[in-house]
Amino acid sequence: AGAHAAAVEPQAASRAYGVVTEFKEKPDMSKFPVEDIRNFSIIAHVDHGKSTLADRLLELTGTIDKTKNNKQVLDKLQVERERGITVKAQTASLFYNFEGKRYLLNLIDTPGHVDFSYEVSRSLSACQGVLLVVDANEGIQAQTVANFFLAFEAQLSVIPVINKIDLKNADPKRVEKQIEKVFDIPGDECIKISAKLGTNVESVLQAVIERIPPPKVYRKNPLRALVFDSTFDQYRGVIANIALFDGVVSKGDKIVSAHTKKTYEVNEVGILNPNEQSTHKLYAGQVGFLIAGMKDVTEAQIGDTLHLHNHPVEPLPGFKSAKPMVFAGVYPVDQSEYNTLKSAIGKLTLNDSSVTVHRDSSLALGAGWRLGFLGLLHMEVFNQRLEQEYNASVILTTPTVPYKAVLSSAKLIKARRAVQKNMIFIDQNRVMLKYLFPLNEIVVDFYDSLKSLSSGYASFDYEDAGYQAAELVKMDILLNGNFVEELVTIVHKEKAYSVGKNICERLKDSLPRQLFEIAIQAVIGSKVIARETVKAYRKNVLAKCYGGDITRKMKLLKRQTEGKKKLRKIGNIEVPKDAFIKVLKTQSNK
């Protein structure tokens, strides 16, 4: 034990975030038998302190040095740091001495926001236990409940951690009672900590060792590795995050993807510490990264099983694929950037396989894509990453949700509004309400309204409940009687008037005056529900040419023709691209 402890003793070295350690020698992963390994995740409601706790665990195990700069080391993406939320799950291997033994603890970080529960379930499949972090002041919130059930369904050991006990208003006793009541976990199993100050964090690591079982795996069997995440590196191609269920994988091995049946040679394999540290080998029960010359987006499917060439195995159960809930059009601002944007979207979707991509085109915006996202925040984060990481300038259209339509000219289906399903009292001050909502009603501004109405106290989570019949209508926009294809919307009958009025007003503000009057109408079938008018205006470009200089006149007329190329003609009305962009663009993207 002494020899291997020395082999993996970390040495400090400066890195981008705070001070991250490196090993003097390559860690010998064979020194970590299955019974000395624990694979776990931290799950929590947003802002309950998951990333702060992860930082403390990394410090305690010497994975990173104790400096004031260690703020959310695992939140690597720029958007994560800016928005203070975790988007992409990250993994780190921690080495920890306890009662004379050296343990390998694999921490798999998970995002906390409602939009990203897909990433949570993905990360959980590589774990045997979770730390369920609950804020000592706020208590159980919507995503605490949602995440607990994800872990519970995966039959993982749950260790409740009550965080922020240093806060003035902290009431850990009350939160302990909530945990007992809602999750049926004995109150004395709760560990009370302050992740910020480091209070009692050591007992969290001890609980991980004592309460979470080692993985159930077999090293003597042929290799069976699960790809639970993947990232794309410009220089090295696909970096797959893998969890080994059986066997061993070594640098130089020939491996096969059970999904694509393609064969690869392993170029590099190792642990995440939290940066990649190659170890040449990984053994069953361990978690790390693998690089094998997978270059194409489709080659590293999340949920895929890797096995040795000539040793096929039963593939591990894949993942329930993520279901997009919100759709939006994405177009390059300049069509000449189409290919650049296409490759950026390709690379980003490799990092985030929950986004669905379909080619689309619009008369106003040109060629582009229709992308499906898990929620609104997910959409915004994706857009921000396109801009920040790939320098792309894009137009994002107003998000919509999918509908199933039964076409009928005579009878419309009866509308259904939000229906209350149940109500559970968590304690005297807190109640959990379950409603059935039309997705369209919650997708854009519901969360913000809920937060402001409840002064920030209410929290919200949702899951897909399938399609329901509703009284929806197709609303068209007409310009002097001509249909504007790109502005067709599906709205609830009761909201049609206000939505139609809003579109007409926005169009009026962005349409330039022309030689004749323009009537902007919102219509349902043949019924006009809103109308705005743009007054006529004669723009004589030749007015400035008093002297009748013919070459100057020609120049001005030519310039006017060039200007017209950026216009789209609807009937005899010239609509500048900008006008569509102003109407189609989302609020958040303004």
Ligand X SMILES: Nc1nc2c(ncn2[C@@H]2O[C@H](COP(=O)(O)OP(=O)(O)OP(=O)(O)O)[C@@H](O)[C@H]2O)c(=O)[nH]1
In the complex, which residues of this chain contact ligand X (CB under 6 A)? Answer: 44, 46-52, 72, 84-86, 112, 163-164, 166-167, 194-196
* CA–CA separation, 336 and 554 (whole Å): 29
Q: Are 183 and 110 in contact (CB under 8 A)?
A: no
We find the least distance from the C-beta atom of residue 274 to ligand X, in angstroms, to be 15
Q: Which is nearer to ligand X, 133 or 504 (CB)?
A: 133
Q: Which is nearer to ligand X, 85 or 284 (CB)?
A: 85
Q: Which is nearer to ligand X, 196 or 582 (CB)?
A: 196
We find the least distance from the C-beta atom of residue 496 to ligand X, in angstroms, to be 37
* CA–CA separation, 70 and 55 (whole Å): 7
Q: Are 166 and 196 in contact (CB under 8 A)?
A: yes
* CA–CA separation, 34 and 69 (whole Å): 34
Q: Are 365 and 580 in contact (CB under 8 A)?
A: yes
Q: Which is nearer to ligand X, 194 or 305 (CB)?
A: 194
Q: Which is nearer to ligand X, 51 or 275 (CB)?
A: 51
Residues 6+ positions from 210 with CB-CB distance below 8 Å? none
- Residue 290 structure tokens: 């693998």
We find the least distance from the C-beta atom of residue 72 to ligand X, in angstroms, to be 6
Q: Which is nearer to ligand X, 51 or 231 (CB)?
A: 51
Pairing of strands 394-396, 91-98: unpaired
Q: Are 171 and 137 in contact (CB under 8 A)?
A: yes
* CA–CA separation, 162 and 139 (whole Å): 9
Q: Which is nearer to ligand X, 67 or 502 (CB)?
A: 67
Q: Which is nearer to ligand X, 67 or 560 (CB)?
A: 67
Could you give the angle at the alpha carbon of 57 between the alpha carbons of 52 and 60, nearest 5°?
A: 125
We find the least distance from the C-beta atom of residue 48 to ligand X, in angstroms, to be 5
We find the least distance from the C-beta atom of residue 117 to ligand X, in angstroms, to be 12
* CA–CA separation, 584 and 582 (whole Å): 6
Q: H/E element holding 82?
A: helix 78-83
* CA–CA separation, 383 and 589 (whole Å): 9
* CA–CA separation, 176 and 162 (whole Å): 8
We find the least distance from the C-beta atom of residue 87 to ligand X, in angstroms, to be 8
Q: Which is nearer to ligand X, 64 or 365 (CB)?
A: 64
We find the least distance from the C-beta atom of residue 162 to ligand X, in angstroms, to be 10
* CA–CA separation, 307 and 222 (whole Å): 7
We find the least distance from the C-beta atom of residue 163 to ligand X, in angstroms, to be 5
We find the least distance from the C-beta atom of residue 137 to ligand X, in angstroms, to be 9
Closest among 239, 230, 241, 225 to 285, alpha carbons compared: 225
Q: Is 548 exposed, middle or buried (0-12, 13-18, 19+ CB in 10 A)?
A: exposed
* CA–CA separation, 490 and 459 (whole Å): 28
DSSP-assigned letters across all residues of 114-130: GGGHHHHHHHHTT-SEE
Annotated binding site for GTP: 44-51, 109-113, 163-166
- Residue 501 structure tokens: 């009025």
We find the least distance from the C-beta atom of residue 46 to ligand X, in angstroms, to be 5
* CA–CA separation, 367 and 247 (whole Å): 48
Closest among 469, 532, 524, 478 to 497, alpha carbons compared: 524
Minimal CB distance residue for ligand X: 112
* CA–CA separation, 236 and 242 (whole Å): 16
DSSP-assigned letters across all residues of 223-282: PEEEEEEEEEETTTEEEEEEEEEESEEETT-EEEETTT--EEE--EEEEESSSEEE-SEE
Q: Which amino acid belongs to residue 574?
A: E
Annotated binding site: 44-51, 109-113, 163-166
Q: Are 264 and 254 in contact (CB under 8 A)?
A: yes
- Residue 354 structure tokens: 């929950």
Q: Which is nearer to ligand X, 85 or 477 (CB)?
A: 85
Q: Which is nearer to ligand X, 81 or 434 (CB)?
A: 81
